[in-house]
Each structure stands twice: as C-alpha cells, then as structure tokens.
Structure 1
Amino acid sequence: MEIRQLKQDEFEQHLELSMYAFQYKLNEEEAERSRQFFRPERVWGAFENGVLQAQLKLYPFQTYIQQQSIDMGGIAGVATWPENRRQGLVDQLLRHALQLMKEQGQSVSFLHPFYFPFYRKYGWELYAEYMQYTIPTGLLPAKVQTDGHIKRGVRDIELLHSLYSQYASQYNGTLVRDTEWWQHAILRSDDTRTAVYYAADGQAQGYILYTVLNKEMNISEIAYTTQEARRGLWTYISNHDSMVQHVKLRAPLDDGLPYLLQDPRIEQQRVPYFMARIVDMKALLEQYAFEKEIAGELTIEVSDRVADWNEGVWRMVWDTDGKATVEQVAAGDAEPAAYDVQVKADIRVWTAMLMGYKRPTELARWEQLQADEQAIQLLEKLIPNRGTHLMDFF
C-alpha cells in the first residue's frame, strides 16, 4: 500500500470515490467546475497497484486562538471504498496527516466528524457547537430606529472580510479566511444574499448572509462590531415579516438571543459541530497567549497514544507577558512518578481546555483532569475565558 498525494490526472478517481462515499452526484458542468478547483497536492490517498483505495483532504488553514492566528490543518473528505473498510487504510492516512501537519508547523487540526467516537480514538475532541434557532415572524425582535442604514447586495469581499475578522477573532476556533475562501466557499452561490449595516458616519459595522426561499429566511452568518449594528440588522430581518413565516439562524452559544426576545419560547437546538486536536503540544503552548501579569511554572503530563511526540512529562514556564517556554523532561516511556507532575490529562482534554471549549474547573469536576486545587486555580487564571465558534464548513 502506497500513501501519497494525488496527481492532477487522478481527479476522476478522487471524484468517483467522493461521490460514492458522500452519496451525491455532479452533472458535467458541476464536475468540470470541481476539476478547475481540484488541488491534488491537498488530497492524500492510499493506493494499491495505482488504484485509489482511500483518501482525505488536508487544507492549510489558520484559526484564531486567543485572538492570534495559528496554523491549522483542516481534514475533510475522509473516504474509503466499502470493500476496503476496517483494513486500517484511514488509520494510516490519519497518522500520516498528523505527522505531516507537525512537520508543516500546523499545531492544531480541525475536522467535521461522521462519527464522534471514531475520531476520539485518534485524539480529536468536540470543540465547537452552535445554536440553531427557528423564530416565527410574530416572535421576531421588535423593530427599533437607529441612526444608520442597511445596504443590500454588498459583495465587497474586503469590506465583508474586515467585519468578519473583527467579529470572528473574539472567539477561539474561527477560521482565518482569505479572498479565495470568500469567493469559492462563502459567496460562491448567487442565491446567497448580503446586507450590511452602516452607521450615520458611513462606517460599516455589521452584515448578514442569508437566503429567502419558500417563505423562509435562512441566515447563515450574522456578524457585527457594535450593538447598534446588531439592532439595525435585526430590524432589517424583522422587516421581512410580510414575506416569510419564520427565520432560521445559526448563532454562537453566547449570543443571548432568547434573553433579548420579548417571548423566548422559540425552537432552540444546541448542535455539536466540529472537532479539534492539538497536533504539537509544545508548539501550541509556546504560541499561546496566556493571561499577562502572571509568572510561574507547571509540570504537566500528556497522554497521546497516536502522536507520540506529545506523550510524556513537560515543564512549562511562563512570564508576565503571557508567553511560555516548554521543555520535555520525560518521554512517554519514562516513569512519570519520578517527577512532581501537577496536572495530568489526555490530549483530548488538553485540546478542549486550551481551545476554550471547557474550563479547567469543569474538567476537574468531571474527573477528566487530574490536578490539585492549586494547579486547577492557576490554570483558571492563566487561560483566558474566551468561548469557541465556527461559522464555516469544510
């Protein structure tokens, strides 16, 4: 079995396996468009006698973590032919991808799982959820007068990107977008409508991306930099009350919409979404923006049976600028009892904690984190309390 990147002339094999595994069909025009955007260097396959048996895509992304851009490997399109399943092909591809991401400096990885337990075996953990709201028009927020105005049909990527970046960087785990991603993933469909809120001074302060079809308004993104823009955008949404019967919206867990509604009895669903994994523990810790004005050190133990370079005992020393230096003091096969380990956890737990999805106190209460009370409180002070969100899909 050979593990390698695909070649340009292997597009048909790639597409055939993708359509079979994910149960979709492209017509000739759609297939040709897919061929144009095919990046063979981003697709890794398991080949036998030159025939593709399994594959995955590895995207070179960046993500916001504690308001910094961190290199991230996005895994997608993991597929294998049914006759090849349970033969370890995906196992080989995932292990190869982890090694490759480490070499490329991608200290974290994200993916959308087909089955959470499968990827948890390889060290990925749930990190992003979202709220799905369905709001009847009669329960939409009250319309309010603002000093600004709305402009529809704005497709100025530079403008939208600026607003998105200000909003998205408030969360951990959002995607750092580029122009290509805006063109081919966000604004690709002509059905996607836009509306931008401008303040009285002409400054853009927020936007929504949405569709209106069959008396339903579906909002895929709402982003704003001021509360005035939030009010203005919701007034614009409510002005569709004669056109639609209800509004659907995806929002971060902390958006507070039910509280802000006169009647919060709307349909609400909390949806588990993406998983994350620390690829390189040392690299992430040394990139991480811890809280400032706190200096000290911790000795931690990391369990990682798949990426063995993370396994072992590490000493982390940080300064008052919130920057840490990390050194390994015992490899995974050493006897950790010889060291004064203050915090022990599996790589999945470290991922949930450092991504900001779960707090140290919570993890300790659920017996996921082994640490004394002093170490737990130190971690609580060190790790900024910033929630997670993801507005994209790949």
Structure 2
Amino acid sequence: MNKYLLAKDDFDKFYDLYLYSFNRTDSKQRRDVLKERYDHSKVYGIMNESNLGSGLLSIPFNINFHGVDFKMNGIGDVMSAPEFGGRGGASSLMKAALSDMYQDNVTLSYLAPFSFGYYRQFGYEQVFDHTKITIKNTDLPKVEVGQHGHVKRLNRLFVKLS
C-alpha cells in the first residue's frame, strides 16, 4: 500500500487543507462537491504533525480517445499549506500517484495546471486549447416568438393532490 494514501475518514483534514491552501470560505455546496470527488478518488496526502500539509486527488475515469478506450486518471486539487510549500510535498505526491497509475495500467492522465512548467517535470504537456469568446447580447440574433400563449397556475390542484 502507498504510504501517501489517505483513508476515506480523512476527508475533514483534506477539506480543511483545501480551504486554507486555496483561500476559500466554507460552504455546504463547496463541501459537498469536494466530498463527491474525494469519495471517488485515490486521495494522497502528507501529514505535518496532526495536520495535512499537502494533498491531491487522483480521479479514475474510462475515456474514449480517437475510438480507443483507455483508463485515465484526472489529477486535481494539488495543494500544500503555505508554510509546508517548497519542501517537495506536492512533488512526492505526484510521483506516488504516477507510480500507482503505472501499477494500475492507467494509460492517460489529465490535469488543468496552474503552471505548465511545474507539471512538465512529471510528463504533462498542454494538449487542449482553451478559447474564450465574448459576445455582446446586442450582437446575438433576435428570436421571433412563434406562438403566444399563457400558463395557468395549478396551485389548487397541487394542494389537492398533496
């Protein structure tokens, strides 16, 4: 077993590090979304005394790439507490995740990097183009409404059926 793998019951530590590392505020929606990813991931972390110092998610997927099915792991939420940064924690976790992917015959891995240069050392490269298009609403075509009608409120019916 990988010495960096976290248990499912370590979610609170991972979530606390997430909020701290990415300077986010706690919310039920944020917690629920991260919990969903956490529960479907191999979760890696390095403890710094009783706190989690670095962490990342390796999320397994099956994809079809040019007509061929592959196992793929998405790498996400790579983070370190600021006071724990620069000590190689994230790098150690990336190497552990890549080693596990190799052992599990995972052929591809995707991530959306904050720094292409940093992740290049692990073999990642930019392979997707990101295009942002801004259109003024006045430049969009006006759609003619084909039919006019009305909607009746059915409150009484809903109350009767409840």
TM-score range (shorter-chain normalised) is 0.7 to 0.9
| 8 Å Cα contact 2:55-2:78 kept in structure 1 | yes
Structure 1's 71 and 134: CA in aligned 2 closer, same or farther, altered over 3 A? same
- Which residue of 1 is the match for residue 100 of structure 2? 100
After superposition, the C-alpha distances for 1:36-67 in whole angstroms (9 at most, x for unaligned) are: 53418521111244532100000001233212
% identical equivalent positions: 25
SS in 2 for 1:102: helix
- Displacement after TM superposition at 1:81 (Å): 0.9
SS in 2 for 1:133: coil
C-alpha separation between the residues in 2 aligned to 1:72 and 1:32?
25
C-alpha separation between the residues in 1 aligned to 2:52 and 2:102?
25
- Which residue of 1 is the match for residue 74 of structure 2? 74
SS in 1 for 2:19: helix
| 8 Å Cα contact 1:6-1:40 kept in structure 2 | no
SS in 2 for 1:135: coil
Q: How many residues align?
A: 142
Structure 1's 68 and 35: CA in aligned 2 closer, same or farther, altered over 3 A? closer
Structure 1's 132 and 65: CA in aligned 2 closer, same or farther, altered over 3 A? same
| 8 Å Cα contact 1:46-1:53 kept in structure 2 | yes
Q: Which of the two has greater helix per residue? A: 2
| 8 Å Cα contact 1:3-1:93 kept in structure 2 | no
- Which residue of 1 is the match for residue 110 of structure 2? 110
| 8 Å Cα contact 1:7-1:40 kept in structure 2 | no
- Displacement after TM superposition at 1:33 (Å): 2.9
TM-score (norm 2): 0.75
In structure 1, which of residues 205, 215, 239 is the aligned counterpart of residue 143 of structure 2? 239
Matched, 1:83 2:76: no
Structure 1's 22 and 48: CA in aligned 2 closer, same or farther, altered over 3 A? closer
- Which residue of 1 is the match for residue 45 of structure 2? 45
1:350-365 correspondence runs (5 A): none
| 8 Å Cα contact 2:80-2:90 kept in structure 1 | yes
Matched, 1:54 2:54: yes
C-alpha separation between the residues in 1 aligned to 2:26 and 2:10?
17
Gaps of 5+ in 2: 145-162
- Displacement after TM superposition at 1:30 (Å): 3.2
- Which residue of 1 is the match for residue 18 of structure 2? 18
C-alpha separation between the residues in 2 aligned to 1:139 and 1:96?
50
SS in 2 for 1:18: helix
- Displacement after TM superposition at 1:116 (Å): 1.2
| 8 Å Cα contact 2:4-2:46 kept in structure 1 | yes
After superposition, the C-alpha distances for 1:162-181 in whole angstroms (9 at most, x for unaligned) are: xxxxxxxxxxxxxxxxxxxx
- Displacement after TM superposition at 1:34 (Å): 4.7
| 8 Å Cα contact 1:6-1:41 kept in structure 2 | no
Structure 1's 108 and 47: CA in aligned 2 closer, same or farther, altered over 3 A? same
SS in 1 for 2:102: helix
What is the one-letter code of the residue matched to 1:121?
Answer: Q
- Which residue of 2 is the match for residue 33 of structure 1? 32
SS in 1 for 2:83: helix
After superposition, the C-alpha distances for 1:285-316 in whole angstroms (9 at most, x for unaligned) are: xxxxxxxxxxxxxxxxxxxxxxxxxxxxxxxx
| Structure 1 vs Structure 2 CA RMSD | 2.5
SS in 2 for 1:45: strand
SS in 1 for 2:4: strand
| 8 Å Cα contact 1:5-1:41 kept in structure 2 | no
| 8 Å Cα contact 1:5-1:40 kept in structure 2 | no
C-alpha separation between the residues in 2 aligned to 1:39 and 1:23?
22
After superposition, the C-alpha distances for 1:118-152 in whole angstroms (9 at most, x for unaligned) are: 111221100001322122344336xxxxxxxxxxx
Q: Which of the two has greater strand per residue? A: 1
- Which residue of 1 is the match for residue 155 of structure 2? none
| 8 Å Cα contact 1:45-1:93 kept in structure 2 | yes
- Which residue of 2 is the match for residue 4 of structure 1? 4
